[in-house]
Chain A
Amino acid sequence: MKRIIIITLACLVVNFVFVTTLSILLLPLPDLLEGTAVEYRIIYALLNFVEFLEPTIFTGFLIGCVIEFGLNSGGSSEPFSPTMFNRYKTVVILGIGIVFILTLSSEVLKPLCLSRKEVLEEAPKELEEYSKLADRFYTSNDFMRAAYFAKVAHDIAPTNEAIAQKYHDYTDAMQDAKLTYTPRLSSNIEMAENITGITVKNGDTSWTVARLLDMAQEEYNTENYLNAHYYARLAFLICGEQDTNYLEAKRIADEAWEKLELPNNVGNQESFDYYKKKYDAYIALCDNDYVKAYYLFMNLSNISQDNAKDPDIKRYLLEAQEKLNRDYFFTEEVSDMKHWENSSNICFKLKKGMGKTDVIFIRGMSLATGKSKKIRYARDISIYCLDSEQNLEFSFTAPYAKIVSQDAKTLSDHDKEKLGIKKNHKLVPCLLLKSVDKDVEGEGTEPTITYSRRSDIKLQDLTKYILPMPYSDMNALSDLSHGASRMSLYDLAKFMYVATDYGYSSVAFGQAFIIRITQPLVLLTLLTFVAAFAWNYRILRRQMFRFKWILAIPLFAIVLYALLECTQYACTLTDCVFFSAFGFYSIIVAFSFYTLCFLIVSVIFLSRYANKE
């Protein structure tokens, strides 16, 4: 056993040194950003190492077995001898170890290296693209977006002087045009976390009506009429006219309102102005104009530190922000989104009620993982809505969208039916299509309708867009851009059943799943077969291993590489047969088939014996 391990490890070391040296010396570098060449060479070398890992390990295992079996071939003068069973045990134990290493390299190391390689290769293209976009918007006098794209380009290549200059020029142009948009490198994840914390919070509605009434009365008694009105109003909104508490709540609210409207206890003009602004902001909040209320409270809070500390301002600013974030998101959340985008070119279709279909394209998607929740942001989203005849009904695009989860219970049955939300969908994705600036009113992004046959759809209605799908499927969809081979096995297993619903081939994903899930068993079977082959061609007992034979090892690796490729393709076609004949049951059939193959190969190995030596 030791001998096989040592020879396999020696082959691995030789492969690593050989591949790394060749990759570093001979690799023709593609167009890369300055300073990334060394990293690219290392990634490339690692990828090549992983690519040839299988034939290398197989070669090491073959040579190891050939020598081990040759030197210790005694005790097997007839088939199925106990010594052969001991050898079989060794082969299977080593096989499992090798399969573990190979699976780890193909499921973890290879995807990691591939993603990084893609990022490095795409960087110059992206730099050029964002630079061009910046120029394009600059020439069309859209300085804000020009500055934004120049900033993205600058972030991709911070050392590029021309881009840096462009970024400064366009930012200056934007400031000259008195636009206050400032892309921030703020910690977006934290911001998103905070915002979502508010959005998902059940809020004041978790209080009982009686508790709200008590609080309103307390606030009224301490002459805090704003809070008294707020709690009383909340109480009568919750309980409804039939409730016995309704009249009491209405009374407190009205009395507090009267006091609010007569600010006779306000002293000087400054205090009066301040109170008036606070009052206006509060009215906007009561009128459900959260955007206006948010900016009014925000402006008040920004005037002085005392204002910012005012408990009323703090409370209602938070309240307005919470309500605002149910329908909008802050532009700042997506200002440097490009950096944490983890998938690109995502597309899927969704079947809606009444035979309608939505076709959705997303240029880039990012996942912000906070302490409690995951939020996604979509960049450059286009949605095409097709009617039951699959004719285009209307389409729109949005520069950004925030994807939050919405509880399907909050939707009426009629809405669910219309949207095509199924009963088993608990959380559904909701796209927030409009963004607002955190500080400046009137700035932000909104969708654009590119085509419409329907007169009932107006731009102002396009604030939220609910997608009829489980929110958890967003994971698999965002991984789609890398192909089935790069999806996690869990996502793949889930996705293959629903792939057709999203516009993908279930057969392709099912096949990919079967190939990946049965890969360890196939490899173990092949290793056992290699061991049987090694027994057949083992060195003779008295034969010394000659050093010059080592020179032939790379040739073995090449032959094994070709043979492994052929075998694995034969498995791909076999899996295709299984999927075609048995559909989703093919996983069980494939497993049974490969287990049978393993058993047959095991019997072949165990039936080996030495007839003369």
Chain B
Amino acid sequence: MKNVISILIAYIRICIGGTIFCAFLYMVYCTCTNMVTGYPSSVFSINLFIRGIFEILPVFVYLAPLFLILLRIRHDDEELLTLLLSIFLCLIGFLTLIPASYKIKKHYDKLPLSQQEHKLQSAGFFRDDDDIIVYYSRVFPNGSVDKITYPKSHFDSYNTYLRTEYQSSSKPRKFSSEPFSDILVARSTSAPLLLKKIIEHSNIFLTNSMQAMHNGYISWLLFSSMGFSLISVIMMCRVSKWRLMNVLFVSIVTSIIFIFNYYSNCTTALNLLHFFVARRLPKFFAVRYPVTCIFNICVIAIMTTCGIIQIVIDKRQKSKDIEEINL
């Protein structure tokens, strides 16, 4: 019973604690993207925080199986009840928490942000882009600027001689600072490349996941097949006698499931394969991404079979050990 309660608490902690912490960071990130140096601004915005909660919650529901598996590995838990509870909690999460959070998020998307968006750049700062440094001496309400442009090199790629120039009432420069409004803020707060890629792909994945949910319950159930395959990894949490190796194994398998589902559902990489498989399937199974479903079903089948075999072998080994000790 103690283990059952600890699993329940852990699941709640993962989903709520993780979501609140990351929603806070989400709020800071979003306010930073709107920030322009020189204007007073705050990183706190209650609307963004609430929106963040419903944006981040699905991520943690998707990650919860991994954390529950890690917990099981850590405690060498072999109880069937906790195993079933973990699977049940994760399934409930996929089928209820994620759709609910998408529905609420839709409402918060319409709310205005407390942070005022500054379209205009501020005067009096040097903005350093790749090949040029720009200084706005004045910014007019109509968006035009007085600026000094300083090329970092004397010649451009067309061999034109470049000089430092002052231009009055000209157009402001378009900096390569997306999604940040100000390149100065982007330079200090933008994420490292690896994380940027993870955030970018996660966003695409979540958008697709939301789309699948809006397409109907069957569509969502099929998309959630990824969730089922994620939790099925719990069956294979004892591949090695070294627990850390098990941690590594489940982390890698989880990553592979995520990556495959992402490429299969959110990119055009496997379109041809989807097309061929869809043609050969009976009409009833003709879903949008058949390969993804087949992959996830295969993962579930392999994990469950191997897991059961593993449990049987372990039990036999244990009873052998006990016999040896008794002898």
Answer yes or no: B118 CB below 8 A from chain A CBs. Answer: no
Answer yes or no: A576 CB below 8 A from chain B CBs. Answer: yes
Q: How many Å lie between the Cα of A268 and that of B38 in the bound state?
A: 76
Q: How many Å lie between the Cα of A357 and that of B42 in the bound state?
A: 29
User: Given that A361-B133, A392-B166, A565-B195 are contacting pairs, would A543 and B241 also be in contact in the complex, using a CB cutoff of 8 Å?
Assistant: yes
B interface secondary structure, majority: mixed
User: Given that A132-B155, A136-B161, A390-B146 are contacting pairs, would A347 and B194 also be in contact in the complex, using a CB cutoff of 8 Å?
Assistant: no
Q: Which of A511, A556, A568 contacts B188 (CB 8 A)?
A: A511
Shortest distance from the beta carbon of A476 to any chain B beta carbon, whole Å: 14
Answer yes or no: B119 CB below 8 A from chain A CBs. Answer: no
Q: How many residues of A contact B (CB 8 A)?
A: 62
**For residue A574, which residues in chain B have a CB less than 8 angstroms away from its CB?**
25, 28
Q: Which of B25, B154, B164, B188 contacts A508 (CB 8 A)?
A: B188
Interface string of A546-561 (1 = CB under 8 A from B): 1001001001100101
Asked if residues B188 and A349 are in contact (CB atoms below 8 Å), the reply is: no
A interface secondary structure, majority: helix
Asked if residues A565 and B241 are in contact (CB atoms below 8 Å), the reply is: no
B111-164 residues at the A interface, CB under 8 angstroms: 123-126, 133, 135, 137-138, 146, 148, 150, 152-155, 159, 161, 164
Answer yes or no: B293 CB below 8 A from chain A CBs. Answer: no
Nearest chain B residue, comparing its CB with the CB of A612: B76
User: Given that A361-B150, A504-B125 are contacting pairs, would A512 and B161 also be in contact in the complex, using a CB cutoff of 8 Å?
Assistant: no
**For residue A561, which residues in chain B have a CB less than 8 angstroms away from its CB?**
194
User: Given that A505-B184, A507-B188 are contacting pairs, would A392 and B168 also be in contact in the complex, using a CB cutoff of 8 Å?
Assistant: yes
Nearest chain A residue, comparing its CB with the CB of B251: A559
Nearest chain A residue, comparing its CB with the CB of B146: A390
Asked if residues B74 and A536 are in contact (CB atoms below 8 Å), the reply is: yes
Between B146, B150, B240, the greatest number of chain A beta carbons within 10 A of the residue's beta carbon is seen for B150
Asked if residues A347 and B133 are in contact (CB atoms below 8 Å), the reply is: yes
Q: Which one of B206-214, B242-250, B274-282 is at the interface? A: B242-250
Q: How many Å lie between the Cα of A530 and that of B74 in the bound state?
A: 14
Asked if residues B166 and A395 are in contact (CB atoms below 8 Å), the reply is: yes
Asked if residues B152 and A345 are in contact (CB atoms below 8 Å), the reply is: yes
Q: Which of A545, A573, A580 contacts B42 (CB 8 A)?
A: A580
Interface string of A125-137 (1 = CB under 8 A from B): 1000100110010
Asked if residues A537 and B73 are in contact (CB atoms below 8 Å), the reply is: yes
Asked if residues A555 and B154 are in contact (CB atoms below 8 Å), the reply is: no
Asked if residues A503 and B184 are in contact (CB atoms below 8 Å), the reply is: no
Asked if residues B242 and A573 are in contact (CB atoms below 8 Å), the reply is: no
Asked if residues B137 and A390 are in contact (CB atoms below 8 Å), the reply is: yes
Answer yes or no: B192 CB below 8 A from chain A CBs. Answer: yes
Asked if residues B124 and A349 are in contact (CB atoms below 8 Å), the reply is: yes
Answer yes or no: A100 CB below 8 A from chain B CBs. Answer: no
Answer yes or no: A14 CB below 8 A from chain B CBs. Answer: no
Q: How many Å lie between the Cα of A535 and that of B184 in the bound state?
A: 43
Q: How many Å lie between the Cα of A357 and that of B247 in the bound state?
A: 60
Asked if residues A505 and B42 are in contact (CB atoms below 8 Å), the reply is: no
Q: Which of A345, A395, A504 contacts B150 (CB 8 A)?
A: A345
Answer yes or no: A562 CB below 8 A from chain B CBs. Answer: yes
**For residue A546, which residues in chain B have a CB less than 8 angstroms away from its CB?**
242
Answer yes or no: B37 CB below 8 A from chain A CBs. Answer: yes
Nearest chain A residue, comparing its CB with the CB of B159: A132
Asked if residues A512 and B188 are in contact (CB atoms below 8 Å), the reply is: yes
Asked if residues A565 and B192 are in contact (CB atoms below 8 Å), the reply is: yes
Asked if residues B161 and A508 are in contact (CB atoms below 8 Å), the reply is: no
Answer yes or no: A400 CB below 8 A from chain B CBs. Answer: no
Asked if residues B29 and A573 are in contact (CB atoms below 8 Å), the reply is: yes
Answer yes or no: A200 CB below 8 A from chain B CBs. Answer: no
Answer yes or no: A384 CB below 8 A from chain B CBs. Answer: yes
Asked if residues B135 and A549 are in contact (CB atoms below 8 Å), the reply is: no
Answer yes or no: A275 CB below 8 A from chain B CBs. Answer: no
B64-98 residues at the A interface, CB under 8 angstroms: 73-74
**For residue B318, which residues in chain A have a CB less than 8 angstroms away from its CB?**
none
Give A contacts to B, CB under 8 Å: 62-63, 66, 125, 129, 132-133, 136, 344-345, 347-349, 357, 359, 361, 382, 384, 386, 390-392, 395, 397, 451, 483-484, 503-505, 507-508, 511-512, 534, 536-540, 543, 545-546, 549, 552, 555-556, 559, 561-562, 565-566, 568-570, 572-574, 576-577, 580-581
Known pairs A347-B150, A536-B74, A543-B242 / 5 extra A-B pairs, C-beta < 8 Å:
A382-B164, A384-B148, A555-B248, A565-B194, A573-B189
7 A-B pairs, CB-CB below 8 angstroms? Answer: A345-B152, A391-B138, A391-B146, A391-B168, A451-B166, A576-B189, A580-B41
A-B pairs, 10 with minimum CB distance? A508-B188, A537-B243, A537-B244, A580-B43, A505-B37, A573-B28, A505-B184, A390-B137, A382-B164, A503-B126
